[in-house]
Each structure stands twice: as structure tokens, then as C-alpha cells.
Chain A
């Protein structure tokens, strides 16, 4: 059976390759930092499942030091010129889209198929992780097609990976760090403190006030935690269930569905949701790391207002 562990070996191999290419690149003044950062990250994938929690924590702090002391850098002069790429684009034409579109197609097919395929009674892949495993397998298929089509030097994929990863830099690891921070917040009981504050300071004796507080609370708490999944249990246990459902007789299905979507409005407005809001600015080479959030804020606020109205109308509809 293919499990996440196998995919982690692949991630480890890629990160180790990125680290080695960086270590040998004398055009990057910070190459030691880069090599250490991606090298330690590679180790977390290779041995993370087997070492103690404390050892993992030490590796993590090592990565943060490598990224913070003088910071990460970037090598020079590996990307080809626009003219070269235009000539190559002319040569290959629409064939270039084949490997690119292979990734989503194989991911979707894999997600649908692997749930059904069994071999001697056991699944081919770990069913709980079928989407990420399918994505990883899809990248291998796409890479194989791309390599056989373009016939670049054998090490080209790893050099390209390192060019893109160094362009993204520490932001590549930020979503994972924030997920870990969320776990620590939960451990320290940050959620109960926040919902306690909401209950103490906001007038909650009118249904409209309660619904509005719940929806805005979901958005704000999601902005703090970076994740609506962390906000939902806290806000719903603190305000939603006791007040909207039990005190005012609201419909829990409507409340939960629209409450979660109010949280998603918060996700659009926070740098804490790094994989949606910060990573794209790095990937798209935008100088302002809040550029995507700034575009999203008007939609998020209008939609939060729409959610408050919808919940007021729908939750007490009978």
C-alpha cells in the first residue's frame, strides 16, 4: 500500500536535491543558509516519523535560525531569457500544455479511482490520504511525460525546483509552521479565552445581535487562527449552540453551514492563511506580500455582510 510516508521520502529527496544544488552554487552569497534550510527540511521528511518530538523541535528551530540569521538568498542567472523561452514556446506549441494539464487530471482520476481499487482485499493507497497521494503520483506522471517530450539534462528538474523554491523562500514552509502554531494555540486553550471575551463584552440578548456576533466572531477568530476549522468548534460551543440554537431556537444546520462560510470570509483577509494568501504573492513574484489579501478584502466584507443577512433570515425561518 502506498502511504503518506512514501510521499515524504519523495519530498525528502527533492528537498535534499535543492539543498545540494544550493550548496554548490557560488553565485548565491547566502548559499550556506539556503543549503542548511532545505537540508534540514529534507531531514524532517526522511526521519520525521522515527525521531522523538524533541528532536523534531530542534530540527525546526535549526531551520528557523538558518532562515533568520542574515536570511536566505537566491542564486543568479539560471533562468533563461524571454527570447529563448519564446523560441521554445514556438517550437513546442500547445504540446507544452499536456504535462501541465496532466497534473490536475491524474489527481482527480486518482482520487476517484483509488477509493475503489483494491488488491487482495486491501487498498492500493491509504484511502484517508487519497487526494495528496494522487497529487504526488500525478506530478511523477507529469514529470515523466515532460522529460520524455522535452529531453532536458537529467538534473534539470531539480535545478528548476530549486530556482522556484528559492524564489518562494521561507514562505514555502510558513503554511506548515502556522498549522503547528494552531495546534499549540489549541493546546494552550487560546480558543476558550477568546470566546469568553466575546461572551463577556457583547450584548447577547437579542437574536440579531447573537447571529451577527457569531458570524463576525467566526471571521475574526479565523483571521487570528488562520483557519476556519480551528474557529468553528470554539465559536459554536461558546455562542452558536447555547444562544442561537438552545435559547432562540435556531436551526443548527443553517447556523453551522453559514457560520463556517463566515469563517472562510476571514480566511480571505488574513496573512495567517499563508498557503492561500502569502504563498501566491511569492509564487507570482509580487513585491507586496499583502497584495492578494488587498484584492480579497472587499469581496470578503461584502460576503460576510451577505452571510449575516442570510443567517438572520434562514436560521429562524420556521
Chain B
């Protein structure tokens, strides 16, 4: 039971909004100690796990070129392009991105999206630009809500698209684990049984995006008529 202390520390830390880096470190050290490791062993185990996980950070290599392009007006250009499409709305921009992201992820092309390389420089400014175009200057709170929706669209489309591709990590993990337990399954069967959930995700999230547009229209036109 003591090994759950790390979980408790993480939950309390996140609720109290203490610096998460500190919270996670303390939780890791406490979990290791509770699991019977000595103090130096815990630090070493943590260090080893941190070093093995360095590949997680490689996506930050996109920042120099994204920053350069933002400096040259990439986000502003993305807004202008959307403004020229008169039929563009926030929800249509996000629906189109959602569909492309989910389909390409299902074909194994998971690296076609992502927050630093697509959402921040292109998708979020386009979604904001479409709303600006319809309703004029946006309140800060609405801007933030549109951006959060752009990030969410990327996540949902990725998670429930990628599992249809047979060589993705989760399918390999499932197969390896079941093999160890003496059950043999085909990757194609696993991929096929991911399709019903993928369709549900598409229906649920796209409906919510359409509702988002209705809410934006209601809030922003009301504001325009009663200043």
C-alpha cells in the first residue's frame, strides 16, 4: 500500500498547483523509497529513467524554425488565408483538421500534426481568424476557448485514429502482452475492432464542434447588439 504514496503526492500537488516538476520529483523519490530502494538508488533509478526518456523531447527541435516563421508573420498569414474563404467558420476549420488528422493517423501518418508544429502556428490562428472574420475583434476569453478547442481536436483525432493502423505502438504492445499470456491475436483484427470506437469519436467530437460554433454565434452576436 505504501507504494501508492507517489500517486497521492501527485494528486495533492496538482490540486494545490505546486510546480509540477517539483511535485513529480518528490513523488518519484517517495515512490522509490516506499518500494524499498535506498536514497542513492532512487536518485539513480530516476536519473536512468529520465535519460532513457529523452526521445520524448525531440519534438522541441521544431522551435527554431517555427519561431523564425512566426517572426516573419506566419500566424498573421494563416489568419489572412482563412479570412479570404468566406464560408470558413471556427468549427468548419476544426472539423476539416479533425477529419484529416484522424484519417492520416489511421494510415499511420501520425506525424502530420502535433501541437508545436501544426496547432500553434497554423490551426489555432486559422480557427481564431475564422471567428474574427465573422464576429469582429474577439474577447480574450473566446480566443482562449478557441485555442483550447484546436488543441483538443488534434488530441482526440490522433488518439482515435492511430489505433486503426496495424504497426502503431499500442497494437504492438497489445500483441506482445497477449502473446506472453499464450493468446495469439492478429494485428489486423485488433485494428478492425478499433474502428467502431473511432467512428463514435468522430461523431461525438464533431457534434461538439458544431455546438461550439452555435455557442460562439450566440455569445458574440449578443455582445454586438447590446454593447
Give chain A's interface residues, CB within 8 Å of chain B.
4, 7-8, 10-11, 14, 44-45, 48-49, 52-61, 63-64, 67-68, 71, 79-80, 82, 85-94, 96-97, 99-100, 103-104, 107-108, 111, 129, 131-132, 134-136, 139, 142-143, 146-147, 150, 152, 156-161, 163-165, 170-185, 187-190, 193-194, 224, 228-229, 232-233, 236-237, 241, 245, 252-254, 256-258, 260-261, 264, 267-268, 271-272, 274-281, 283-288, 291-292, 294-296, 298-299, 302-303, 306-307, 310, 314
Contacts and interface: CB of A to CB of B under 8 A. Distances in A.
A185 B10 CA distance: 12
A89 B74 contact: yes
14 contacts: A60-B43, A92-B72, A100-B69, A104-B111, A104-B113, A142-B62, A142-B65, A181-B31, A254-B193, A256-B174, A258-B193, A280-B154, A295-B145, A306-B204
B223 to A, nearest CB: 21
A254 B32 CA distance: 36
B88 interface: no
A260 B174 contact: yes
Interface of B: 1, 3-4, 6-7, 10, 14, 19-22, 24-25, 27-28, 31-32, 34-37, 40, 42-78, 80-81, 109-122, 124, 144-145, 147-152, 154-156, 159-160, 163, 169-170, 173-174, 177-178, 181, 183, 185-186, 189-191, 193-194, 196-197, 200-201, 204-205, 208
B148 A281 contact: yes
B71 A184 contact: no
A240 to B, nearest CB: 10
B20 A170 contact: yes
A88 B73 contact: yes
Contacts of A161: 60, 63-64, 67
Contacts of B208: 298-299
Contacts of A142: 62, 65
B190 A268 contact: no
Contacts of B31: 181, 184-185, 188, 190
Given A181-B28, A252-B178, A281-B148, A56 B6 contact: no
Contact of A232 (B55, B60, B120, B174): B174
Given A252-B183, A260-B170, A264-B160, A179 B49 contact: yes
A257 B73 contact: no
Q: What is the interface of chain A mostly: helix, strand, loop, or mixed?
A: helix
Contacts of B150: 284
Given A48-B51, A100-B122, A146-B69, A184 B115 contact: no
Contacts of A60: 25, 43, 46-47, 50
A232 B170 CA distance: 9
A55 to B, nearest CB: 7
A106 B119 CA distance: 18
A274 B72 contact: no
Contact of A184 (B22, B28, B197): B28
B200 to A, nearest CB: 4
A180 B44 contact: no
Give the interface centre of B1, B10, B34 by most chain A CB atoms within 10 Å: B10
A89 B160 CA distance: 35
Contacts of B36: 188
Which 5 residue pairs spanning A and B have beta carbons closest together?
Answer: A160-B67, A188-B35, A57-B47, A89-B73, A56-B47
Given A58-B43, A150-B68, A253 B190 contact: yes
Given A232-B177, A281-B151, A306 B24 contact: no
B14 to A, nearest CB: 5
Contacts of B46: 57, 60, 180, 184
Contacts of B109: 108
A155 B44 CA distance: 37
